[in-house]
Structure 1
């Protein structure tokens, strides 16, 4: 006896609607990018409750849209394997319970990124991020004006030092100047893409670029200049490839790849003069001491690492030991690659690099071959995250992790071996990015 058909009600229609998808995307991006302010103003339990609620709603959205989503293309394979290895590491960490809940937080943010990647195309995602960052950067500027000019007092509960009158460094509502600088660079990329695609009014685009650029400069973050130079070089290279005749692109792509590899080695061996030129010698010296100690600790757990925690838990090993030896209070390893190596060993680092590299290659090829400039947004965001990961661990938690997974999902939908499976006849496959070419 067959079961009676289930008729979709108003709730399914709401969850599957385009308007709800836009609202959901803005809610997720707004909550994650404003996480520091939310935790300082309302507590961590409030933030966790928001993420949990959005995750439950996300499950409902995927169920409502199940007919248009291909299961085989739902999540990048590298992401599944990386999260699986992180989950296994819970069993050999120093605190299983804390490590497990840290993994749950990591998986929840990844899930939110997967949902957004499937309910919004690239242009819609960039537009939503642009709207969110315009609002948060405007609030940051307002808070800095209130603290540093009108009242001339710091706001310790928000981490705002009130240095605007001295032209920085400023933190906004993001906690640190480095995080503000990182967010401002992501905003600049998004605002410039909006301008090129004419998805917002020119006046709004120009004002947004000025706002993001001004806050990036006022953050006085030493990583902003590195990010700006790195992203600028990538923009030039991508424009060069896009304007090259199709039959010559493969050779040019290989040449650019070789230049990148050489540049990485040159940058590593010339790191001391570069840091001295940037005027961040003291900061770099502190980071080198931290990284050297982390590498020493990796030798005792080279393959599996010490267990996944994401952001450091100060009372757990090896983080307590590191801060004790250095007489510091580091909350991360200040380098995503060393942080992954410490927590998940060489296996975890290889999986993390594979996740990022495959996403970057896929998005780069899509951006170089497809007509619309919107396809440049994904590789540019990825480049900014990967460059910043050499100086911060943002790519492993919060904002950086959400954006890394989101870009990996978008890249996988634009170019993936699983497209051939759907093309072979699997029903319900999500179509190619619907952005106009």
Structure 2
């Protein structure tokens, strides 16, 4: 005869764990912040500079308020100090800036972007960061396709910023959308620039693929998003993005080989092979750039970039140590930039090379600080990806696909920085600061005080006893 006991061996049934409403709202706000950074030029094209500035400043103030309200644990000794040094040097350049109004405006954008990156890294776990980035990218990819479809179906012609239809034929560079969705030409999405859309589409492929490999829920939908991002990547036809994709594959292959090394010193030959392939490949691309870029439909001088670089370097050489003053991007209404370098009838807003841009603005000191920012970021993200997670005697813990994100993002930004200055602002700068800060605060996915505190906030882990 069965006997019922009042002391069952298993735990009583309970409702599944649900995230707290406050944390859901917090993550929703982080998605919006990331979406703003990823789609930065879209806000200007849609609403203008003033409205975009108000939203950006208000968003920074709100994030600071939330930071003080949530009070997440932060290891103050483990901060990205090169980042702070670069921001401090940019602020100091106001003292000798040749364009002080531009310095003040763009410095405010730099500080807000830096604060937002630190805020997101402190209130979200590694898994949530990747999930939040994926959500923001879905909005950019989805809205870009919807926008291009709306232009082609309803507008049936190019459209200017502010949803204005041109009354005469203009240079395509000024169009927000060129109505190329159905004619096979390059599409620009909500960003209004194919060279900005290409790297973001590549980033989306990387993030969605990482979540797919990590066996996230709705893998079928993730596969669909990968296809959509790949379509935008192809239609953007950005030569820089194509080269970045090759770099991503090279870095990914090297990381996977490093993870297979079993003996001490076994990685040495991989490092040598990686250096040979990387340096040799970069040299080959530069020497054969004429044939390569002609095949990609670009001119051998990188679509006029070499002429821009010559003028930037000539001006930078006049103040080589401290530079002319911070301004990222260049404020084209400032007399110092207005009409200085003209491309397709428009004043250029950047040097089209992040290192030349820093050299112009902050001199050799700025270049050294920026090199420190990227060296520290690449160094930590590399070993974050290739080293097996270990904090005790156990050495057989599995690798997490999430650890691939920082080093692959670094590959995209370094390549993009050779032909664009975008890694210095918006999502490029935000991702460098965010990922560098998070690696220093939480060097293991799911482990550490910060990660466990966030899990408690989500209701996943019971708080420790007294």
Question: TM-score per shorter chain, which class?
Answer: 0.7 to 0.9
Establish whether residue 299 from structure 1 lines up as the match of residue 303 from structure 2. Answer: no
1:22 corresponds to which of 15, 27, 42: 27
TM-score normalised by the chain length of structure 2: 0.81
Stretch of structure 1 that moved more, 257-266 or 394-403:
257-266
**Which residue pairs with 1:192 in the alignment?**
209
Q: How far off is 1:189 after superposition?
A: 0.7
1:281 corresponds to which of 294, 299, 304: 299
Establish whether residue 258 from structure 1 lines up as the match of residue 275 from structure 2. Answer: yes
Cα 1:278–1:336 change in 2 (3 A) is same
**Which residue pairs with 2:115 in the alignment?**
111
Cα 1:125–1:149 change in 2 (3 A) is same
CA distance in 2 between partners of 1:204 and 1:431 (Å): 27
Q: Deviations over 1:155-175 (max 9, x none)?
A: 212601101111221011011
**Which residue pairs with 1:232 in the alignment?**
249
CA distance in 2 between partners of 1:313 and 1:168 (Å): 30
Question: Could you list the runs of 5+ residues in structure 2 that have no partner in the other structure?
Answer: 1-18, 164-175, 389-398, 461-466
Cα 1:67–1:40 change in 2 (3 A) is closer
Question: Could you list the runs of 5+ residues in structure 1 that have no partner in the other structure?
Answer: 1-13, 417-427
Q: Deviations over 1:134-165 (max 9, x none)?
A: 12211111121222245422221260110111
Stretch of structure 1 that moved more, 266-275 or 58-67:
266-275
Cα 1:253–1:77 change in 2 (3 A) is farther
Q: How far off is 1:314 after superposition?
A: 2.1
Cα 1:415–1:131 change in 2 (3 A) is closer
Written as runs of structure 1 = structure 2, the 5 A alignment for 1:95-110 is 95-110=99-114
SS in structure 2 at match of 1:305: coil
CA distance in 2 between partners of 1:433 and 1:291 (Å): 48
2:61 corresponds to which of 56, 65, 87: 56
CA distance in 2 between partners of 1:299 and 1:151 (Å): 47
CA distance in 1 between partners of 2:60 and 2:312 (Å): 34
Q: Is the 8 A contact 1:290 1:326 kept in 2?
A: no
Written as runs of structure 1 = structure 2, the 5 A alignment for 1:283-432 is 284=302, 286-316=304-334, 319-320=337-338, 322-323=340-341, 328-370=346-388, 371-415=399-443, 430=450
Q: How far off is 1:248 after superposition?
A: 3.4
Q: CA RMSD in A?
A: 2.8
1:92 corresponds to which of 93, 96, 105: 96
Stretch of structure 1 that moved more, 249-258 or 179-188:
249-258
CA distance in 2 between partners of 1:207 and 1:67 (Å): 35
TM-score normalised by the chain length of structure 1: 0.86
**Which residue pairs with 1:221 in the alignment?**
238
CA distance in 1 between partners of 2:150 and 2:344 (Å): 36
**Which residue pairs with 1:78 in the alignment?**
82
CA distance in 1 between partners of 2:382 and 2:453 (Å): 15
CA distance in 2 between partners of 1:277 and 1:359 (Å): 34
Written as runs of structure 1 = structure 2, the 5 A alignment for 1:111-130 is 111-130=115-134
Q: Deviations over 1:231-282 (max 9, x none)?
A: 1111111111112215235524642563345554554455444434433116
Establish whether residue 136 from structure 1 lines up as the match of residue 140 from structure 2. Answer: yes
Matched positions, count = 411
